[in-house]
Each structure stands twice: as C-alpha cells, then as structure tokens.
C-alpha cells in the first residue's frame, strides 16, 4: 500500500542510511577525482522528511564533504521527474553517474551518462555508458575523453 511504501522509504532514507557503509572503492575514487575535477552530488532525498539532513550527516561522517563542498551537493524530491536534470543543467554538468537507468534517461542536459551497475543487470546503449566498479571509472573517462567541467 502507499502507506507501507512511505514507511519503508522513510526508514531506508532515514535511520538505515546512517548505518550504511560506503561502497568499496567509492571514497578513494571520489577523493582521487576531486583532486583534479569539480565533483557534484545530486541525490533524491526529500527535505520535507529530513532526508537531506541525514544525507549530509552521512556525507560528513564518511569524509565525502572533505572532497565535495556542501555547496556542490543538492537534494531533490524523489517523486519529481526531471528534478536531477534541472539541477544538472543549472550546474552545467557534462558527466553524470547514477545507479538507475530511468534517472539517466531523464538527464537530457548531460552529454555523458554512466550507469553504475555492480551486479551487471542493465543493458545500455549510447548515449549511456556502464561501469561495474568504482575502479572502472577512470578508464572510461580517459577512453571517452570526457571532462567534468
């Protein structure tokens, strides 16, 4: 039911988030890329239910905000189609990575869109690219001569 879905979503994007560990290699790759690129985060977490506060707490706890300043982090509502694209357009994002194909398809303003698919279950075709691990990212960026600017 919609009520149960809302309760589950509030738990996942709430208390469960704070206990979640970073994915293998994620923090190291973020710090590596941030040394030479302006990285941004656009996350579907609603300020209406405190998801942005919990999101910032998680980012701070794991040192992500040492590499990506708070002003380059945006939280958008999860139920508004195109919300991530609006922010990406505003910031002039040219490369974007997400774990959901449907979100990548909404990002019409972004030239290079990368599916992060650690379980290798999604098939993609141009203009989408796919990686399975964080360590795959630099090779893709170099091979495609993509830039974060």
pLDDT tens profile 28-63 = 999 999 999 999 999 988 777 788 999 999 999 999
What pLDDT is stored for residue 105 in this prediction?
94
Q: From CA 51, how far away is CA 147, in angstroms rounded?
A: 30
Instruction: Read off the pLDDT of each residue in 11-40 and give the average, rounded to a whole number.
Output: 92
Query: How far is residue 139's CA from residue 86's CA, in Å, rounded to a whole number?
Result: 28
Query: Would you say how long the chain is, in residues?
Result: 149
Using an 8 Å Cβ cutoff, are 149 and 111 in contact? no
**Cα 69–Cα 42–Cα 3 angle in degrees, nearest 5:** 130
Q: Does 24 score more than 80 pLDDT?
A: yes
**In the prediction, which pLDDT does 50 show?**
81
- Residue 101 zone, left/alpha/beta (φ > 0; ψ -120 to 50; rest): alpha
Confidence of residue 146 (pLDDT cuts 50, 70, 90): low
Per-residue confidence (pLDDT) for residue 148, from 0 to 100? 44
Q: For residues 10 and 69, which has the higher predicted lDDT (pLDDT)? A: 69
- The one-character DSSP state at 130 is E
Q: Is 84 helix (H, G, I), strand (E, B) or coil?
A: helix
Residue 139 backbone dihedrals phi, psi, to 5 degrees: -65, -40
User: Does position 149 have pLDDT exceeding 70, yes or no?
Assistant: no
Paired residues of 113 in beta bridges: 96, 128
Q: What is the pTM of this model?
A: 0.89
Q: What is the pLDDT of residues 83-124, one digit of tens each?
A: 999 999 999 999 999 999 999 999 999 999 999 999 999 888
Is there a contact between 112 and 127 (Cβ–Cβ < 8 Å)?
yes
Token pair in block for residue 32 = 């590596």
């Amino acid at each position: 039911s919609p009520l149960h879905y809302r309760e589950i979503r509030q738990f996942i994007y709430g208390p469960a988030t704070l206990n979640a560990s970073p994915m293998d290699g994620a923090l190291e790759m973020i710090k590596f890329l941030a040394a030479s690129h302006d990285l941004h985060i656009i996350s579907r977490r609603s300020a209406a239910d405190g998801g942005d506060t919990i999101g910032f707490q998680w980012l701070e706890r794991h040192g992500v905000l040492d590499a990506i300043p708070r002003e380059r982090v945006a939280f958008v509502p999860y139920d508004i189609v195109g919300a991530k694209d609006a922010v990406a357009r505003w910031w002039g994002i040219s490369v974007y990575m997400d774990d959901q194909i449907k979100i990548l398809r909404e990002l019409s303003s972004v030239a290079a869109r990368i599916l992060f698919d650690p379980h290798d279950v999604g098939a993609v075709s141009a203009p989408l690219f796919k990686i399975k691990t964080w360590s795959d990212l630099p090779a893709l960026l170099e091979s495609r001569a993509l830039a974060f600017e």
